[in-house]
Chains A and B, each alone.
Chain A
Amino acid sequence: MKRRAQSASLTRRLTPMAMLGGRLSTMICIALSVGALVFSSVNPQTAQGIRLSVNDLAAPLLGAISAPIHEAALFVRNVTGLAELQAENMRLTQENMRLREWYQAAQLYQSENHALRDLLNLKAEMPKSYITARVLVDSGNAFARSLLVAGGQKDGVEKGQAVISGSGAVGRIIEAGDEVSRILLLSDINSRVPVMIEGTGTHAILAGQNDDQPRLERLPSGYKLEEGARVMTSGVGGLYPQGLPVGRVQETEQGLRVMLYADPSQLLYVRVIENREDSVLQSIDAAP
């Protein structure tokens, strides 16, 4: 009886202490979170370094878990695609006929182009090589649009390299660790890409808005943007090679926006363009 009374008394004394300890821990965690938020905003480079180290550590685990999911996604796509195969086949046959005519024309233009380049003694562009990387993680929220891919400095991926998919430009590498790299998508609010409107040669800046439809900024005053116009990278600044397909201008509730060709949510693999002109990035990196 006496023992039970002692135990009850101890519990009465310990409960407020435990509650106080719990509240103190909560306050410390909130303070740490707010501190980290401010720190990553004030000193993003250091925050990036820490993030890369953590991601490099987590990469094998993420890769192991995402591999079967990717296989399952591929299987689902293949199975659901069977029903559409006949229609797809007919469409491709017709497209193939059209493309044969284009192929003849393209060969003619290519030989003419080579002859003209030789005539002008034009410096030939370096052939591009690619690094294929599997998508591990996507941020996918209103605050950041990025992808983490299984390919890092060990594979030749470097900060600033442009990333493409089969459909068009995806973004650029903003963090390159040993094992993994992070791609800043074209739709991210921090993404600014020099582009031009096909056919007109008008230059503009593609500005991400953290939604699926980036905006075109810095268009020449008085320029009338038309719906359906194709947008491609202009190559200005050297970060993105010239002529990467980006998207198509489309009328939305927010006005004319660019509907991107590459849908990052459906990407399993991306291609990192290895050879690029480093002029801009090297000058940024070299800056104190």
Chain B
Amino acid sequence: MGAFSTWAERIDLGLRLMVPYSLLFLLLIFNVIALPILPSTTMKLPLILMGVYYWAIYRPTLISVWLAFLAGAALDFMMGVPLGLNALVLVVVRWFVVDQRRFLFAQSFIIIWLGFLLISLAAAVLQWLSFGLVNGTWVTLDSQFWTLLVSNGIFPFIYGLLHLSHKALPFPAVNSPYALKRQSRYKRVKR
């Protein structure tokens, strides 16, 4: 067990791990639930995509490919869309972002935000293509444009929440902005 030998430490680790997973779960629920405040039947914000994108950059081990697949499958079941549609998108997004994380990892928030814009655009196109190919109907993407706009508008807020949940984790990922900040703080205290 190494670093986590005592029960107290194990419980502490378990509780800390629960924070990001609970947030991911909430994002999943808010992704599907009917929100009568928004025009939600025309605009469904891809909140879980934001979670997958964030963790694929900063802690890919936290959101495994299987977890991304399961989250996508849960969305498919609850939203009534063809099974596999969201699962495919989340798995591909995770794969691509993990592949590019060496670049994304050290980037500023603006670049991460821009990256999400491109990823959400690519995700929408992938969904449209896979739906069209399987069903033979090519739907218009007018509503998707507004969804992209609003979801990118609220991305900083969701990023902030995810970043807060990241702080609860015991081991910051090596070279992550949070880890670097924590290391420099530690050095200052030591001096």
Contacts and interface: CB of A to CB of B under 8 A. Distances in A.
Given A29-B69, A62-B29, A209-B140, A140 B43 contact: yes
Contact of B33 (A41, A66, A189, A266): A66
B80 A139 contact: yes
Nearest to B130: A37
Q: How many B residues touch the partner, as a band?
A: 35 or more
B24 to A, nearest CB: 15
A39 interface: yes
- Which of B76, B92, B130 has the most chain A CB within a 10 Å cutoff? B76
B68 interface: yes
B77 A54 contact: yes
Interface string B22-50: 00000001001111111111111000000
A76 interface: yes
Contacts of A26: 65, 91, 94-95
Interface in A44-72: 47, 50-51, 54-55, 58, 61-62, 65-66, 69-70
Interface in B72-108: 72-74, 76-85, 87-88, 91-92, 94-95, 98
Nearest to B95: A26
B134 A138 contact: no
A143 B78 contact: no
Contact of A141 (B64, B66, B147): B147
Nearest to A48: B80
B84 A135 contact: no
A30 interface: yes
Interface in A158-189: 175, 182, 185, 187, 189
Contact of B79 (A73, A137, A175): A137
Interface in B93-147: 94-95, 98, 127-128, 130-131, 134-135, 137, 139-144, 147
A66 B31 CA distance: 12
B130 to A, nearest CB: 6
A65 B25 CA distance: 12
A205 B34 CA distance: 28
SS of B interface (majority): helix
A146 interface: yes
Given A137-B79, A141-B79, A212-B42, A70 B36 contact: yes
Interface of A: 22, 25-26, 29-30, 32-41, 47, 50-51, 54-55, 58, 61-62, 65-66, 69-70, 73, 76-77, 135-148, 175, 182, 185, 187, 189, 209-212, 264-268
Interface of B: 29, 32-44, 64-66, 68-69, 72-74, 76-85, 87-88, 91-92, 94-95, 98, 127-128, 130-131, 134-135, 137, 139-144, 147
Given A138-B41, A139-B80, 4 more contacts: A39-B83, A58-B78, A140-B43, A142-B139
8 contacts: A32-B87, A62-B32, A66-B34, A139-B41, A142-B140, A148-B78, A209-B140, A268-B36
The 7 closest A-B pairs by CB, nearest first: A36-B84, A33-B88, A37-B84, A140-B44, A36-B83, A40-B83, A33-B84
